[in-house]
Structure 1
Amino acid sequence: MMHSFFQVVYTTLQAVATAIFHPWFLIVIYLMYKMYKKNGDMEVETLLFMRQKISNKMVQSILSGILIGIGASILLVVIGFPIHLSEYMVFLLPVAILLAMINFRYLCFSYAGGILGILSFIFQGQMFLGYKLPDMNMDIPGIIALVGILHFMESLLILLEGADDSIPIIIKKEGKFASAYMMQKYWPLPFALLVMEVMTAVPQGSIEMPDWWPLMKNIIDNPGGVLVYSIYPITAVLGYGDIAVSTTPEQKSRRTALSLMAYSLFLLVTAIFAPNRIWLQGLGVILMPLLHEILIVQGQKRERYSKPLYVYPDKGVRVLDLKPEGLGEKLGLRRGDVILKINGTEIENYLHMKAILNNYFTFLWVDILGIDGKHRCIEHQAYPSGVNDLGIIPLIEEPLAVYRLENMESVGLFRMFSGKK
């Protein structure tokens, strides 16, 4: 049995490697580059610099996607979530990319899978006005399971990396400026699918698996031959887009990850019980995109109508971001902090703070109000040169760029590529 397990793992790794060198993987990498470049331009508009090179973001995302793809592939093949692969399954990624031209959040197999699933119910080889319609014959439980699997992997990536490198933006609510943080992460996902096919005999070199395997059974009625399971390489893309207005990016991404995890588990349970139950397959195809849309829209409404967490203060200076390797990072300043006093002098605004720092204090103590409502004091000695810059990017009263949340929520790939604001 242990020998069979290592054979399965080895074959799975081969399939993942094949997916990495597939042309679709390169297309996904190109789309990721375009989207990260667009986000970098937005970061420069707000901060006047880019904190991390696009190449570094790309490498991190690619490695994370590959590692999650490998781990999930091994787990899913060993447990046994098979899919009956039809020729129309290849349209999942192209349909998802076409939908993303309208809105980035549609770059998701839940919408593409829902569309193909509904079409599979409609097109069953029947005659219509003298023409024979195609028989799509798609594995609906397999599609539901695939979407559930992908979203479970996405939830893990969001939980681990969703809040990393969030981009500060300035918004205006109720006549006051506030800062928000936009999370935009993309992961190319090469992974292996367990595919079933009907053959007249078991091919040579097959691996014998235990009786309980696979977990999902009875997907094909009366196959008329021997069911053989093989491992098939596939490429997908996972994207996370969110805006933290009323919470921190870490809290927002954690909430989103847990919601997606619950959604994915619901789909996987539905997929397990869906074979031979047409009504459950139809319900799953409808709920798959509907529940995903509800999760996103509810999150957007919550942020749009809630009170901003990072409002422009009546007194003091709100830290929008920190300069890389600047004094603020060394002192332990954090995004959202409000600098209240410097050496006992109350700060009115950013210009007032700059005037105070022009004294080049050799010893500095800074009173700060954290985003958690707690006060703290930071001390720093800079003898003999003194300090005149805390290394922060402040939330100023007249920002250079102000964004509307409604516009941020409806960005499509077409708009990204066309360069429209």
Structure 2
Amino acid sequence: MVLHGLLALLHFPWFYLVTLLLAGIQHLRQRHLERATLGIKVTRDVLHAFRSIGIGLLAGIAISAAFDYAHVPFSWQDGVSVWVLGTLFSLIDMRLACVSYSGSLVALAGLVSAWWVPGNAPQVAVWLRALHPFSLLVLIAAANAVEGVATFLQMGIASPFLMKSRRGQIVGAFLLQGFWPLPIFALGSVPFSVLPNRTGIALGSPPQRVFFLGGVSISLYTILLAIALFFLRHSTPGLTIVALLALLSHAWLERFQVMREEAQSPLYVRPKSGVRILATLSGTPAKRIGLTPGETIARVGGMPVNSPYDLHFAIDQNPAYVKLEVIDSRGEMRWIGTPIFERDPHHLGCVFVPDERGVTETNVLSVGKQGRFFKLWRSVDAGERTVETPA
């Protein structure tokens, strides 16, 4: 049956291709986000895109095989409804593309049809009664399991950008996102696809910690959802409650993570002395020697540095080899030596938290607006200006 499903997907790939296109557009938007606020592309978005597609494809095959083995029924109305609703939601806000929202609403519509359907709309009644609410909720649990594992393993993108804190201070932050397109080719349904995703910010914590906590929280949520489905699978009122919780809990988990980060003191702010790292560029000395976001470079070759210009000057004094005095986020000091050559266009390869005096409002984006498709594109197209060149 799995081979039959794969052949059906190859014969009718359009739903899956559109989902891939939406995920690809989001990766391009993150590249524009970095260029618009920092003036340089930091993350390797193409590598992340292919990795996300690979994870989603393998997970989709496994989920479809499990549904086939467990005889979880689907109809073509299930697939079309979830895909259409999820695609429409993605045009409003990419965070809403997650199957937790579209799948829950379609499941609720199927559950409501068990006791009420419009009498003057027979076609609507036929459509709603062909839905399988329990199967859709199982699909949500499976997709969230993929989301939880992928988030826990940090299979997402952490894009550095600039934002304004609650106190009006311009600080560095990371926009965390992961998209894993799942092709579903269950028996009885057209080959469709869903897009589990995870979004959040890292403001007062390193991105790795936020990914870890997010993966733990969504995994616990998935386990509770699976337990509820097991005990309430034959109860229409019970499944209705589960669908409502699945709809609201996912949004609450994302909002709680953002509120937790906003309540902490920002980590990526300009220090009193030294220069604080916001991001490191791939293939540079900074990446090779293990410099990480949130660390502060206090001295270079024994010379104190308080701006990227100081750091450039200190490196130029000895372009072949420099010794760095680095303070980590816990306040501990360490010394690192690395060869740097004059032909290296980025010298060290760091992007630092900028001085507010060198930042204009057009370089600062609001976290609450990152998912809005058209507004973000307008802000990006307005101009890409460099805040501070990488050192």
Same fold (TM over 0.5): yes
The Cα offsets for residues 258-294 of structure 1, whole Å up to 9 and x where unpaired, read as 1111111222222222233122112112111011121
Cα distance change on mapping 1:318 and 1:127 into 2, 3 Å: closer
Larger radius of gyration: 1
C-alpha distance in 1 between matches for 2:95 and 2:202 = 16
Whether the 8 Å contact between 2:79 and 2:192 is mirrored in structure 1 is no
After TM superposition, give the deviation of residue 176 of structure 1 in Å.
3.6
Q: Which residue of 2 aligns with 1:263?
A: 221
Q: Which residue of 2 aligns with 1:94?
A: 84
Q: Which residue of 2 aligns with 1:210?
A: none
Cα distance change on mapping 1:384 and 1:235 into 2, 3 Å: closer
Q: Which residue of 2 aligns with 1:208?
A: none
The Cα offsets for residues 157-202 of structure 1, whole Å up to 9 and x where unpaired, read as 2222434x41111123335432111122222211343x5xxxxxxx
Q: Which residue of 1 aligns with 2:20?
A: 29
Q: Name the TM-score, length of structure 2 as normaliser.
A: 0.84
Q: Which residue of 1 aligns with 2:334?
A: 376
Q: Which residue of 2 aligns with 1:406?
A: 368
Query: Which of the residues 102, 112, 118 maps onto 1:112?
Result: 102
After TM superposition, give the deviation of residue 232 of structure 1 in Å.
7.1
The amino acid across from 2:162 in the alignment is I
Question: Identity of counterpart residues, as a percentage?
Answer: 19
Cα distance change on mapping 1:302 and 1:261 into 2, 3 Å: same
Cα distance change on mapping 1:232 and 1:13 into 2, 3 Å: farther
The Cα offsets for residues 227-286 of structure 1, whole Å up to 9 and x where unpaired, read as xxx797442222222211111111111111111111112222222222331221121121
Name the structure where strand makes up a greater proportion of residues: 1
The amino acid across from 1:286 in the alignment is L
Whether the 8 Å contact between 1:363 and 1:386 is mirrored in structure 2 is no
C-alpha distance in 1 between matches for 2:342 and 2:244 = 69
Larger displacement relative to structure 2 (138-147 or 359-368): 359-368
C-alpha distance in 2 between matches for 1:387 and 1:176 = 31
Partner-residue secondary structure (3-state), 2:271: coil
Which residues of structure 2 form unaligned runs of 5+? 383-391
C-alpha distance in 1 between matches for 2:132 and 2:6 = 22
Residues 214-233 of structure 1 aligned to structure 2 (within 5 Å) = 233=191
Cα distance change on mapping 1:106 and 1:347 into 2, 3 Å: same
C-alpha distance in 2 between matches for 1:104 and 1:314 = 38
Whether the 8 Å contact between 1:33 and 1:54 is mirrored in structure 2 is no
Partner-residue secondary structure (3-state), 1:311: coil
Q: How many residues align?
A: 372
Cα distance change on mapping 1:126 and 1:327 into 2, 3 Å: closer
The Cα offsets for residues 183-230 of structure 1, whole Å up to 9 and x where unpaired, read as 22222211343x5xxxxxxxxxxxxxxxxxxxxxxxxxxxxxxxxxx7
Residues 155-194 of structure 1 aligned to structure 2 (within 5 Å) = 155-163=148-156, 165-173=157-165, 174-193=167-186
After TM superposition, give the deviation of residue 42 of structure 1 in Å.
1.1
C-alpha distance in 2 between matches for 1:297 and 1:385 = 45
Q: Which residue of 2 aligns with 1:39?
A: 30
Q: Which residue of 2 aligns with 1:66?
A: 57
Larger displacement relative to structure 2 (243-252 or 393-402): 393-402
C-alpha distance in 1 between matches for 2:71 and 2:375 = 37
C-alpha distance in 1 between matches for 2:149 and 2:310 = 44
After TM superposition, give the deviation of residue 322 of structure 1 in Å.
1.9
C-alpha distance in 1 between matches for 2:298 and 2:74 = 63
Q: Which residue of 1 aligns with 2:93?
A: 103
Cα distance change on mapping 1:181 and 1:81 into 2, 3 Å: farther
Q: Which residue of 1 aligns with 2:353?
A: 395
C-alpha distance in 2 between matches for 1:103 and 1:385 = 43
Q: Name the TM-score, length of structure 1 as normaliser.
A: 0.78
Query: Which of the residues 35, 39, 48 maps onto 2:39?
Result: 48
The amino acid across from 1:36 in the alignment is H
After TM superposition, give the deviation of residue 111 of structure 1 in Å.
1.6
Name the structure where helix makes up a greater proportion of residues: 2
Cα distance change on mapping 1:44 and 1:128 into 2, 3 Å: closer
Partner-residue secondary structure (3-state), 2:359: coil
The root-mean-square deviation of aligned C-alpha atoms, in Å, is 3.0
Whether the 8 Å contact between 1:363 and 1:380 is mirrored in structure 2 is yes
C-alpha distance in 2 between matches for 1:377 and 1:365 = 7
Partner-residue secondary structure (3-state), 1:82: coil
Query: Which of the residues 198, 203, 211 maps onto 1:253?
Result: 211
